[in-house]
Amino acid sequence: MKLTSKDRAALRAHAHHLEVMVHVGHHGVTDAVRQSLDDALRTHELVKIQVSKNADAKAKDVAHELAQALDADVVQTIGRTATLFRVNPELEQKRRAKESTEAR
C-alpha cells in the first residue's frame, strides 16, 4: 500500500504520542525482531521502532529493510527512531462494528 502525503502526515501526528514497541539491538535485524514487529503491526497497525546506538546499521536502512520484509510502509524516520504502518483488515472490521454499535 502506497501512503499519500496526507495519510503519512496523519499517521505521523498519531504516532507522536506512541511509545517505542520494538528495539533493534546491536545484532541488527534478526528473526526475533521481525517476529516482534510483525506481531506489533498485526495488533496495532502503527508501530515505533528504535535502533540501538550500538547497531551497525542506520535507522533509515533498518526501517526500509523491515518494511519490505513485512509488507509495511515507513511513515517516518527521525534519528534512531522509525515509525512503520501496515493495514490490518481485521482491526478495521472491529472498528466499524464498534462504531456502528456506539451509534445506536
- CA torsion, points 84, 66, 80, 51, in degrees to nearest 10? 120
| pLDDT above 80 for 92 | no
Give residue 11's pLDDT band: very low, low, confident or very high (50, 70, 90): very high
Count of alpha carbons within 13 angstroms of residue 95, beta-carbon side: 9
How is domain 5-103 classified at the CATH fold level?
A: Translation Initiation Factor IF3 (3.30.110)
Short-list 81, 5, 7, 101, CA closest to 45: 7
Q: What is the pTM of this model?
A: 0.85
Question: What average pLDDT does the structure give for the chain?
Answer: 89
pLDDT for 91 equals 72
| pLDDT above 70 for 104 | no
Q: Domain limits of the chain?
A: 5-103
- The burial of 81, by beta-carbon neighbours within 10 Å (0-12 exposed, 13-18 middle, 19 or more buried), is given as middle
The grid coordinates listed for 97 are 462494528
pLDDT for 31 equals 94
Q: How far is CA 9 from CA 3, 45, 74, in A?
A: 10, 15, 12
pLDDT for 101 equals 73
